[in-house]
Structure 1
Amino acid sequence: MPGSLRSLLAEPRPPGAPPAGPRDWFLAAACALIAVLEGIARPDLPGGLVAPVVAVVLAPTLLIRRSHPLLAVVIAFSATLLAPIATGNVPPEEYSLVYLLLLLYALFRWGSGREAALGLAVIVVKQVVSFVSGQVDASDTIGGTALALAVLAIGAAVRFRTGARARELEQVRLRERERLARDLHDTVAHHVSAMAIRAQAGLATAASDPDAAVDALRLIENEAKEALTEMRTVVRALRTDEQDAPRLADLPGLTVGAGPKVAVDVHGDLDSVPPAVGAAIYRIAQEAVTNARRHARGATRILIHVMSDDDQVRLSVTDDGTTVNDKPIRGYGISGMRERAELLGGTCTAGPGAEHGWHVEAVLPA
């Protein structure tokens, strides 16, 4: 078996297939109703009464097109192949049967590789048998096959594009985990180094000054508690070599650069903010400023506002550009900001401002 065919048959179903909901029930009911109305409006319909009956009976297959795409295709194409037996070899030609194209789309969009291959075989067999038995002529067979293949190709293209974007988003998450792990690694390394120095000092003074050794142990205990607090937020990620972890004190550095003027407004006790949280706030602000400089139409000013208290650190980045609701920023920077915030137990939102520009807001626990 060729490797490409083996890979196709081993392809699993894509995740995220939505279950049948009210819209699907409405769609099925609407298709059935249209089939009935068409049967009434076209008394000379080829196939007679069989045509609208087939169209109505097959409408419920729309409800299972995502959960059981192969079954839906087998039922629909078997019915349309066998229906001419009751009409003297005249296939049902209701225009309303066009909804069967949704089953073809769903086959390649939501089916597994094996289901897609079997479904394609069913379609080919149906077309060949219909032509050989004289139900349809050569032109109809060619046209119907071309249309079916086009719809299948659209389903496959959407499936591939969705999967590619999911993989790209996963890469964003991995990069953010790497950066966060590196930032936290530096913080924990600092605490461990301090503990080692305190331990050495305690050992050196233990014989002559036992109280100094006790003080050293207390300091080691405090450093260990802080290190453990940071370690609880470490994610499993590979460490990459980067420059030193950023801090909230580095935010003024974001004012340097071409484009709109950047202003930084900070309130609260920055010294009490955990290093991991400070690094995350800086990274999110950095990404927000970069996006504003690239995409904020007509912006002249970007404001970074940070508010810190005992419970949380709140970041807000806004600009005075023109709000464009129907043109979102492309790329994965926003996904990366959201991922970094969620890894630390916080939230991050981004979208058009109420009055103008783009608004990014992040809230992280302090």
Structure 2
Amino acid sequence: MLTLARSLWRLPAPPDARPATRWDHAFVALLAVLGVAEALLRTDMDGRWLSLATFLVWLPTVLVRRTRPLRMSAVFAAVTVPLMILAWTSGDREPDDLNTAVVGLLIPFSLTRWARGRDAAVGLGLFLLVAGTSLATQPLAAGDRIGGAAVVVAAAAVGAALRSRSMLRTRQLDVVRQQERERLARDLHDTVAHHLTAIAISAQAGLAVADAKPEAARDALRRIDEEATRTLAETRKVVRMLRTDDDVADRPLNDLAGIATPGGAGPRVEVHVADGLDDLSPTVAAAVQRIAQEAVANARRHAEGATTVSVHVDRQHDDVRLVVSDDGRALTRSGQGFGIVGMTERATLLGGTLVAGPAPGGWCVTATLPAEERR
């Protein structure tokens, strides 16, 4: 219980509180007019002008009910308590309340809806002190007292309920944003990082043979130009996907052929795609392509002495199986990369599995994905 009280006390103000608008000013002006009209028409009302003056003093605080709800409660108590003390000391009745003053129920509502924890506790304490004392001292029937207390509690409960709903929506939006950031990070890592790796390897190879074999250096520059063009195209695809709200870009499985390289700088990449995979869903086909790209990029970066990287895609019953293997010696990983993490996330999100680790003669990445998305 003490932990709950502390958490409520430290509760921050919700971020959706906005300043008063012109509609708020019009609302307050309308209430002021109604209050004056009521005081003029209710000639049988005790202390009507004093009640009207009190009402008009705290009414403008309605404009800050979202941004400064505690101030609303403090001003209400500051102008109401002296009247109650004056009535007790003089033995007279308290001035009757204006019906328009029912807008005072915005005070407990605003405190539970927009105030931070400590302000809500202090403000509710002030308001309940005034309202409770008024209900207890006025000549009212027991049913009226219970009804008045219930209305105050209901106003506070509605504010708390709306606040909880707003907080839940904010959490849901945060989760969606985090998922979108992770998806964007995977796409950028799997595309740009793959091509940049190829560019770096080609540049290193070109520098190594620039003096002895100028033609080989020109070939390396040609490969760098091709990889840079692919990088730009992939980046544009990611940006287009973000702008158009498409979940999956147009990435047919046949694009895997673009990963193959006959030789040159780095190991040779061979791609074998079995027949009968044309019915894969676009999401699964995109995942297969991305995982294959990342696995090949990892092999080119980390497989020391590798000469060949093999990519095999085939169908096994209701699943599609991707195997990327190389014949190099896998260097010790620093643990700071995101390649295997991203590949595993892609497979898991589709209801599949991914295993990466040493294999006889090198390193192997095996991904098993459902041929159709699992909802």
TM-score calculated relative to the size of structure 1: 0.59
Q: CA deviation at 1:76?
A: 1.4
Contact kept, 8 Å, 2:191 with 2:234, in 1: the verdict is no
Aligned CA RMSD, in angstroms, stands at: 3.1
Contact kept, 8 Å, 1:19 with 1:67, in 2: the verdict is yes
The 1:223–1:98 alpha-carbon spacing in structure 2 relative to 1, beyond 3 Å, is same
1:318-337 matched pairs, under 5 angstroms: none
Contact kept, 8 Å, 1:25 with 1:63, in 2: the verdict is yes
Contact kept, 8 Å, 1:54 with 1:80, in 2: the verdict is yes
Select between 135-144 and 112-121 the one with higher mean Cα deviation. 135-144
Matched positions, count: 245
SS state at 1:274 partner: helix
Aligned-partner Cα distance in 2 for 1:190–1:273: 12
1:44-55 matched pairs, under 5 angstroms: 44-55=44-55
Report the AA paired with residue 52 of structure 2. P
Q: CA deviation at 1:158?
A: 0.8
Contact kept, 8 Å, 2:136 with 2:145, in 1: the verdict is no
Select between 55-64 and 208-217 the one with higher mean Cα deviation. 208-217
Q: CA deviation at 1:47?
A: 3.1
Q: CA deviation at 1:133?
A: 4.3
The 1:136–1:81 alpha-carbon spacing in structure 2 relative to 1, beyond 3 Å, is farther
Report the AA paired with residue 115 of structure 2. G
SS state at 1:92 partner: coil
SS state at 1:284 partner: coil
Contact kept, 8 Å, 1:11 with 1:112, in 2: the verdict is yes
1:141 matched residue in structure 2:
145
Aligned-partner Cα distance in 2 for 1:135–1:57: 26
Aligned-partner Cα distance in 1 for 2:24–2:244: 45
The 1:135–1:12 alpha-carbon spacing in structure 2 relative to 1, beyond 3 Å, is farther
1:274 matched residue in structure 2:
236
Aligned-partner Cα distance in 1 for 2:27–2:244: 48
Deviation string 1:26-69 (CA, Å, 9 cap, x unpaired) is 11111111011111111001333222222222221212212221
Aligned-partner Cα distance in 2 for 1:22–1:43: 33
Q: CA deviation at 1:200?
A: 6.5
Q: CA deviation at 1:136?
A: 5.2
- Give structure 2 stretches of 5+ with no counterpart: 250-375
Report the AA paired with residue 169 of structure 1. L
Select between 80-89 and 185-194 the one with higher mean Cα deviation. 80-89
Q: CA deviation at 1:91?
A: 4.0
1:54-73 matched pairs, under 5 angstroms: 54-73=54-73
Aligned-pair identity in percent equals: 40
Deviation string 1:152-188 (CA, Å, 9 cap, x unpaired) is 1111111111111111112111111111111111112
Q: CA deviation at 1:118?
A: 1.1
The 1:147–1:210 alpha-carbon spacing in structure 2 relative to 1, beyond 3 Å, is same
Q: Which has the larger radius of gyration?
A: 2
Contact kept, 8 Å, 2:108 with 2:152, in 1: the verdict is yes
2:189 matched residue in structure 1:
185
Are residues 1:8 and 2:12 paired?
no
The 1:276–1:114 alpha-carbon spacing in structure 2 relative to 1, beyond 3 Å, is same
Q: CA deviation at 1:104?
A: 2.0
From 241, 246, 260, the equivalent of 1:284 is: 246
Contact kept, 8 Å, 2:209 with 2:217, in 1: the verdict is yes
The 1:22–1:285 alpha-carbon spacing in structure 2 relative to 1, beyond 3 Å, is same
1:75 matched residue in structure 2:
75
2:159 matched residue in structure 1:
155
The 1:281–1:29 alpha-carbon spacing in structure 2 relative to 1, beyond 3 Å, is closer
The 1:272–1:90 alpha-carbon spacing in structure 2 relative to 1, beyond 3 Å, is closer
1:101 matched residue in structure 2:
105
Aligned-partner Cα distance in 2 for 1:278–1:108: 43
Aligned-partner Cα distance in 1 for 2:131–2:243: 60
Aligned-partner Cα distance in 2 for 1:226–1:286: 19
Report the AA paired with residue 127 of structure 2. I
1:165 matched residue in structure 2:
169
SS state at 2:16 partner: coil
SS state at 1:125 partner: helix
Contact kept, 8 Å, 1:10 with 1:113, in 2: the verdict is yes
SS state at 2:48 partner: coil
Contact kept, 8 Å, 2:205 with 2:220, in 1: the verdict is yes
TM-score calculated relative to the size of structure 2: 0.57
Q: CA deviation at 1:25?
A: 1.5
1:171-320 matched pairs, under 5 angstroms: 171-199=175-203, 201-202=205-206, 205-206=209-210, 208-217=212-221, 219-220=223-224, 223=227, 274-280=236-242, 284=246
Deviation string 1:302-351 (CA, Å, 9 cap, x unpaired) is xxxxxxxxxxxxxxxxxxxxxxxxxxxxxxxxxxxxxxxxxxxxxxxxxx
Deviation string 1:123-162 (CA, Å, 9 cap, x unpaired) is 3322443355456564443222211110011111111111
2:307 matched residue in structure 1:
none
Aligned-partner Cα distance in 2 for 1:107–1:84: 23
Contact kept, 8 Å, 1:191 with 1:223, in 2: the verdict is yes
2:357 matched residue in structure 1:
none
Report the AA paired with residue 174 of structure 1. Q
